[in-house]
Structure 1
Amino acid sequence: MGNDENRNSIRRMAGLATPMALRVAVTLGLPDRLLDNGASVDELAVELNVAAVALELLLDHLATLGIVERTSTDYRTTEYGANLCVDSGDDLTNVLLRLDTAGGRAELAFVDLAHSIATGQAAYPRRYGRDFWADLAENPHLRKTFDQQMTYRIRAQIPQIVDGFDWSRFSRIVDVGGGRGDVLAAILAAHPRTHGHLVDLDPTATEARRTFSAHDVDERTQVTPGSFFDPLPAGADAYLLVDILHDWDDDHAHRILSRCVEAAHPAGRVLVVEPVAGRRAQSEINLAMLVMFGGRERRIDEFRALGSPHGLVLDAVTDLTDERCLLEFRLAAGR
């Protein structure tokens, strides 16, 4: 590859026009609107209440990308572009590309990546005036789409998570920040003697009750609306953290682990399921954790250091999926 080709390749990687064009197209619903019956620019502009001249510029670029095709009278979604439709089967992509969802809104914080690199802090508050979690608390729509994102992101991996570890060792599992309960419900469905207790904020906790009912594990589950920064249900023999710690800096991660340790049975375990840097984490996701939350994907030695002040000893690391590991911590004797 020659120098000119290298430079052109780098410029294409650095360009913002294409990723933003795709996001605006999905947010406007263009792939679905143009899937079967095409439409002219003027017709679309009236429907969507947007500027016709600007809309045509967007559609022309989408045609260059192969997302739509231009006929003599209108634009239509191509077979390739249909992958961006709501019912394409790729729920996560659609949720993440929409600018009016929690994930799509959060990715715009990458504009302030330089701030995060300079300070080590999240860029999200710099862009929006408050952190990601405060934004969710103030906006029910953002919280709903965040819960959807978490469900979609892990759904395909749940069978591997259930099969890749011996959950039957535990009679009672507390799922800390367990979201809608999909992981815990699947574990309990596979292990009829195990009971579960999920902790998360409302209205997510309410959704978890529905999940448990759908999996017919109501009689073996409890749900407590609340924060993992507050005292947790005591006496369980496993405290499960799925995709939790990487959302937080070390100070907040210590607070979460402290709550798990103070609540755990003396012979209990703390189970951390998430990507591990150098093992099951992508560099792009690492930057996303930094920009959005001020967190990161930690290395195994960083997890050991994180657990040590709380008397947590890392016993084992299990590769559950292509994206996630399970780190099993035990409580040190005489803690």
Structure 2
Amino acid sequence: MTTASDSAPVRPDAPEPSRGLTEIADIVTPFAVRAAATLRLADHIAAGHTRLPDLAEVAGADPQALARLLRFLTCRDIFAEPEPGTYALTELAGELLSGHPANLRQWLDADEVAGRLDTTFPYLVDAVRSGTPVHEKVHGAPFWADLGASPARTESFDRLMAQVSQSTRGIGTVYDWAGVRHVVDVGGGTGALLREILQAHPHLRGTVADQAGSVAEARRYLAAHGLGDRADAAVHDMFDHLPAADACLLSRVLADWDDESAERILRTCAAAVPEGGRVLIAERVLPGEPAPGTPDTAEDLAETRRLTSHDLRMLVLLGGRKRSVADYARLAGRAGLTLHTSHRLPGGATVMEFRSGSTP
């Protein structure tokens, strides 16, 4: 019987492909790691289920198929096999434990919302060709509509975003809130970020402006933290109208949108604040161009790698994009806003302060 690989012509002088590029392009490894995360193999092994039959039973897997998966992963030092049919954790496998601070297992779990999002990536080439998201093509609805259609997906997504929100940690203390009396957190979700700000500045009042489901939760959350007298939440469309305030905060919002949509949001914010009022953008930003003759630092390169990965996620899922401070300044300028200051936060995001109707 002839197989596809048997029939492929082989040139005796054909060069071997680059091993490095082959490993980078390998599609099996990322899915094998996701299978291990979904089956919670690290958790089960840590709990003492180290022998194959026991591990397969507790993981709900076929023993022979699981052995093949683990053979693949142990060859790559993701798990260890100290003796035949007995498995142990390596340092890498330890990062798949549910209790690990990085919470990587949840991001790799194929049964969670993150796994659903990952299924859009086989259509990356379509997104690159069109410049538009492909989530609807894969799942039958745009990202936000698909998410809202399932309480389970919404709950899974909220848990993921609770981890992402750590990037804005410190905004209540690093940024100078003097002169602000009322801040509107646009798309503020459950109100966790507004709580951090208000607790650090007793003179401030705040409003979460979001969709109905988030607003109800934000009201409960803020009241539970003793802020019911200084904070509220209200349903508002950030493309249309926002309540009047001294400052509008857009934390991890604009990266979800293309330039045209982001500019509309910024115009709505500019209309909600007085002359000289503040519009604050808090996002992880792409590093700017280094000065001539100054190479990128290792930290800049590592951050760029992370953010370019997030940038492609924004493309396939939402049509949004990651931007640099200069990108945001140009975008905000078209909405009548001028960059005043920017500060890097301890969590990794940058808070950029723009002023309405002001000059540099």
Instruction: Settle same-fold status: TM greater than 0.5.
Output: yes
Give me the whole-angstrom Cα distance separating, in 2, the residues matched to 1:243 and 1:323. 12
- Displacement of 1:293 in angstroms is 1.5
Match of 1:175 in 2: 185
Once residues 58 and 129 of structure 1 are traced to their aligned partners in structure 2, the CA distance between those partners, rounded to angstroms, is 32
Give the CA deviation at 1:265: 2.9
Give 1:263 deviation, angstroms. 2.4
1:285 matches 2:310: yes
Structure 2 equivalent of residue 86 of structure 1: 98
Distance 2:50 2:345 in 1: 47
Question: Structure 1 62/205 Cα, relative in aligned 2: closer, same or farther at 3 Å?
Answer: farther
The two structures have a TM-score, normalised by structure 2, of 0.82
Deviations 1:4-44 (A, max 9, x none): 99921221111121111111111122111121312444444
| 2:6 alignment partner in structure 1 | none
Superposition RMSD on alpha carbons, in Å? 2.6
Of 21, 38, 48, the match for 1:27: 38
Please say if 1:200 is aligned against 2:210: yes
**What residue in structure 2 maps to residue 242 of structure 1?**
251
Cα separation, 2, equivalents of 1:261 and 1:137: 29
**Secondary structure in 2 aligned to 1:84?**
coil
- Alpha-carbon distance change, 6 to 278 in structure 1, aligned in 2, over 3 angstroms: farther
Contact 2:222 2:232 in 1 (8 A): no
Q: Provide the C-alpha distance between the structure 1 equivalents of 2:17 and 2:246, rounded to a whole number of angstroms.
A: 55
Residues 86 and 210 of structure 1, relative CA distance in 2, 3 Å threshold: farther
- Call closer, same or farther: CA 1:213–1:84 in 2, change over 3 Å: farther
Whether contact under 8 Å (1:27, 1:100) holds in the other structure is yes
Shift of 1:189: 0.7
Question: Which is helix-richer, 1 or 2?
Answer: 1
In structure 2, the CA distance between the partners of 1:124 and 1:192, relative to structure 1 (3 Å rule), is: same
- 8 A Cα contact 2:44 2:59, kept in partner: no
Q: 2:349 aligns with which of 303, 324, 335?
A: 324
Following superposition, the deviation at residue 102 of structure 1 comes to 2.6
TM-score (norm 1): 0.87
The alpha-carbon deviation at position 47 of structure 1 amounts to 4.3
Segments of structure 1 that go 5 or more residues without pairing to the other structure are: none
Say whether residues 1:218 and 2:228 are aligned partners: yes
Match of 2:298 in 1: none
Residue by residue over 1:205-224, the C-alpha shift from the partner in whole angstroms, topping out at 9 and shown as x without a partner, is: 34333442454322210012
The CA distance in 2 between the partners of 1:239 and 1:94, in whole Å, is 35
Instruction: Provide runs of 4+ in structure 1 moved above 6 Å.
Output: none
| 2:64 counterpart SS class | helix
- Count of paired positions: 328
- Percent identity of paired positions between Structure 1 and Structure 2: 33
**1:124 positional shift:** 2.1
Which string of whole-angstrom CA distances, capped at 9 and with x for unpartnered residues, describes residues 267-300 of structure 1? 4211111122334753222222212211111234
* CA pair 72-305 structure 1, distance change in 2 beyond 3 A: closer
Mapped to 1, the partners of 2:27 and 2:47 lie a distance apart of: 29
Deviation at 1:248, TM superposition (A): 0.7
Partner of 2:292: none
Q: Which amino acid aligns with 1:166?
A: D
5+ long unaligned stretches in structure 2: 1-14, 289-302
Deviation at 1:137, TM superposition (A): 0.9
For residues 353 and 240 of structure 2, what CA distance do their matches in structure 1 show? 22
Local SS of the residue matching 1:66: coil
